[in-house]
Amino acid sequence: MDILQHLRGGLVVSCQPVDDGPMDRPDIVAAMAAAAVAGGAAGLRIEGVENLRAVRAVVTVPIIGIVKRDLPDSPVRITPFATDVAALIDAGADIVAYDATPRPRPEPRQDLVAAIRSRGALAMADCATLDDGRVALSQGAAIIGTTLSGYTADTAGLGDGPDLDLLGAFRGLGGFVMAEGRFNTPALAAAARQAGADCVTVGSAITRLEHVTGWFRAAIDSAAPR
């Protein structure tokens, strides 16, 4: 299968339950993933090796794997170590995503890309800025995503919506562009496509029940009866 061709024009569903919440179990993540594929997802984004193994057993679509770690001396959370890269690919990841920002980190970005590619998988760069995307492509990443825009000190405070400007700017770099981060409605996913995204990843709005419930709850709380 040509993975990028399969994902082009499609939807990736990120099945990442709220940490330690009631849905945070490999069997539930696998059920979410199967349901997403039944609904038309072209691919999946899965956190954690155990979850990935459980999902790989029930789907054949491309899987973007990540491991999130909370490190004491670095703000980098998404796949900071090459050892995690190997474990994700062994568990069935076709693509491995990593934090592609220039923030202090335990292992250089270039080494992660090399580790991913040397095992025959594709590297997806989770970026916060245009420069992150440019560097990632020069280092051999196959996919650049807007994943971390709004989540670094330099990009914090962008608001509740997704970063469509970065998406448009990525288009000029020439790589495969993933829209990711706060594409919380079908209309925003369509806007991503119009802005030039090759593919759109949606997480919270589909798979974090607690968040979506909170959005509805807040809307109801703030609405006065007529």
Binding site for ligand LRY (CB under 6 A): 14, 16, 66, 147-148, 151, 180-183, 201-205
Q: Which two tokens stand for residue 161?
A: 């919506």
Of the pair 2, 126, the CB lying nearest ligand LRY is at: 126
- Rounded least distance, CB 6 to ligand LRY, Å: 20
Helix (H, G, I), strand (E, B) or coil at 124: strand
Give the integer Cα–Cα distance in Å for 169 and 221: 38
Which CB atom, from 43 or from 203, has the smaller least distance to ligand LRY?
Answer: 203
**Cβ closer to ligand LRY: 145 or 175?**
145
How far apart are CB 162 and ligand LRY at their closest, in Å? 8
The backbone torsions φ and ψ at residue 199, rounded to the nearest 5 degrees and listed phi first, read -160, 155
* 38: CB partners within 8 A, 6+ apart: none
**By C-beta, is 31 or 158 nearer to ligand LRY?**
158
Specify the DSSP class assigned to residue 202. E
Say if CB 143 and CB 96 are below 8 A apart: no
- Tell me the sheet residues that pair with 180: 201
Closer residue to ligand LRY, CB minimum distance, 65 or 175: 65
DSSP state of 121: P
Neighbours of 95 (CB within 10 A): 25
Quick one: 139 or 201, whose CB is closer to ligand LRY? 201
Q: Is 74 exposed, middle or buried (0-12, 13-18, 19+ CB in 10 A)?
A: middle
**Shortest distance (Å) from residue 202 CB to ligand LRY:** 5
Q: How far is the CB of 181 from ligand LRY (least distance, A)?
A: 5
At its nearest, how many Å lie between ligand LRY and the CB of residue 170? 15
| Minimum distance from residue 225 beta carbon to ligand LRY (Å) | 31
Tell me how far apart the alpha carbons of residues 192 and 161 are, in angstroms, rounded to a whole number.
12
